[in-house]
A and B are shown apart, each in its own frame.
Chain A
Amino acid sequence: AQSVAQPEDQVNVAEGNPLTVKCTYSVSGNPYLFWYVQYPNRGLQFLLKYITGDNLVKGSYGFEAEFNKSQTSFHLKKPSALVSDSALYFCAVRSHGSGNTGKLIFGQGTTLQVKP
C-alpha cells in the first residue's frame, strides 16, 4: 500500500535560517512526489514535484526538494526562511503505471513556524 510519512508535526526555525521539512514515502514502482502548502482557511497550493530526472527539484517561492531513492525520502528545503513561509506543508505521492488513477496520497502535514 502507498503511504507518506511526515515525522514532524511542527518545525520551528528563525527567520533567515535554512529550513527542512521531512517526508518519506512507500510506493510500489517509481513514485511521483509533490509538495503543497496550505495557509489557514485556504486550499492547497502546489509548490513542486519530482517525476524523473535530476534529484534536486526547484519550485515556487525559493523552495526545493531532494529525491533520495535509497532512503525513500523527499525532504523540502529552503536556504533562508521567511516569516511568510509559516504555514502547513503537505507531502504527497502517487504511483504511475497501469492501473494508476492519479490519486494523491498525502502525509499528515507539518506546521512550519518561522519566528522573526
Chain B
Amino acid sequence: NAGVMQNPRHLVRRRGQEARLRCSPMKGHSHVYWYRQLPEEGLKFMVYLQKENIIDESGMPKERFSAEFPKEGPSILRIQQVVRGDSAAYFCASSAQGVNEQYFGPGTRLTVT
C-alpha cells in the first residue's frame, strides 16, 4: 500500500508565477489535509478537504491560495502570484474515515526566487 504521494518534491518559481502542488492520499483515505512548514517553524494547518468538498479552510491565506480535491485525481494546492514569503515546505496528510491519525507525504519544497 503506497503512502501519501506528493509531487513535485522540489519546485522553483519566480515571483509572480503560479505554483501547483499535488497530493495523492493513501489508498482508501478520503480525507486530505494541507500544512505549511516555514523555515525554523512547526507545521501550520492550512486546509482540510474531502472529495469535492472543502471542510475547513481556516488556515488558508485569504488571497492567492486555493485548494481542491476532485472526485477523480489528486488534491491540488494552488498558489497564484507567488511571493518570496511563500517559500516553505508544504505537506499533505491523509486519513481514513473514523481514524484519528494522519499520514504525511514527503512534502513539496517551494522556493520563490
Contact = CB atoms under 8 A, between A and B. Distances in A.
Interface string A5-43: 000000000000000000000000000101010000111
Contacts of A90: 42-43
Nearest to A49: B101
A36 to B, nearest CB: 7
> Interface extent on A, as a size class?
20 to 34
Contact of B45 (A42, A103, A107): A103
Nearest to A46: B101
Contact of B48 (A34, A103, A107): A103
Interface in A39-75: 41-46, 49, 51
Contacts of A42: 106-107
Contacts of B101: 34, 46, 49
A81 B93 CA distance: 28
A31 to B, nearest CB: 11
A105 B45 contact: yes
A102 interface: yes
Contacts of B44: 106
A101 interface: yes
Contacts of B109: 41
B95 interface: yes
Interface of A: 32, 34, 36, 41-46, 49, 51, 90, 94, 101-109
